Structure 1
Amino acid sequence: MAQQQLHSTEELDQFVAESGKRLLFKHSTTCPISATAYSEFQAFLQGESVPSAVIHVIEDRPVSNAVAERFEIKHESPQLFLLVDGQVKWHTSHWKITKDAIAQALKA
């Protein structure tokens, strides 16, 4: 399943409004920690059919800020959210973003 990049709050609204489980990754393209976390995220997605989206926090800051405001969760980067029917059911950041952690969160 293709990963979507969100560039606007309208695209964010549409992604969040979909039902079921979805993964949302906030990525800093200039941060080595974020690069490692993004690699873990991509490794998890190989062979998985979970809808996912990424927000580049520097390039699309208004979208990144909208996530923090909407879900009332302090901005971090990298940051990963598991959404279920539009609600955050799990989130983590930095070195805690691993292929195994994502798999466990989806099973819970």
Structure 2
Amino acid sequence: MNWNTLNDSAQLEEIKKESHNYPVLILKHSTRCSISSATLGRLERSWKQEEVGDLKPYFLDLIAYRPISNQIAEDFGVWHESPQALIIRNGESVYDASHFDISFDGIKAQVAALV
């Protein structure tokens, strides 16, 4: 899986712009949480880019970049959770899941529903 690192709040504006061309996934990961680590591992083992088309995945280490995590919650109108996955389309969050509700199959279904 090829993550794009989210480590600057200015990237959120770029993600909003990108999402008008293709869906964008943001995964908020806590390096201090065993559930987050388990979820990340499960997602990476299941990931098949060809099954989600142009979906562009971003990875946020929310311990290192907590202000960006807070900005995501504010900008996209979602309650902060960790771990958390959001799909952004046309500048808005169209899907969010947290903890063990995050799965490749769930993400794939949401991307398919956007077509």
* TM-score, length of structure 2 as denominator length: 0.84
Residue 24 (structure 1) aligned to one of 23, 26, 45: 26
- Relative distance call for 1:13 and 1:41 in structure 2 (3 A) is farther
- Cα distance in 2 between the residues matched to 1:16 and 1:44: 26
Matched residues, number: 108
Q: Which moved more, 1:34-43 or 1:63-72?
A: 34-43
- Cα distance in 1 between the residues matched to 2:48 and 2:41: 11
Unaligned runs of 5+ residues in structure 2 are none
After superposition, the CA RMSD in angstroms is 1.6
Aligned to 1:65: 70
Aligned to 1:12: 12
- Relative distance call for 1:72 and 1:47 in structure 2 (3 A) is closer
Unaligned runs of 5+ residues in structure 1 are none
- Cα distance in 1 between the residues matched to 2:46 and 2:87: 13
* DSSP-derived class of the 1:102 partner: helix
Identity of aligned residues (%): 31
- Cα distance in 2 between the residues matched to 1:42 and 1:86: 25
After the TM superposition, which residues 37-48 of structure 1 pair with which residues of structure 2 at under 5 Å, given as runs?
37-48=39-50
- Cα distance in 1 between the residues matched to 2:9 and 2:91: 14
- Per-residue deviation at 1:38? 1.1
- Per-residue deviation at 1:44? 4.2
- Cα distance in 2 between the residues matched to 1:80 and 1:66: 15
Aligned to 2:100: 95
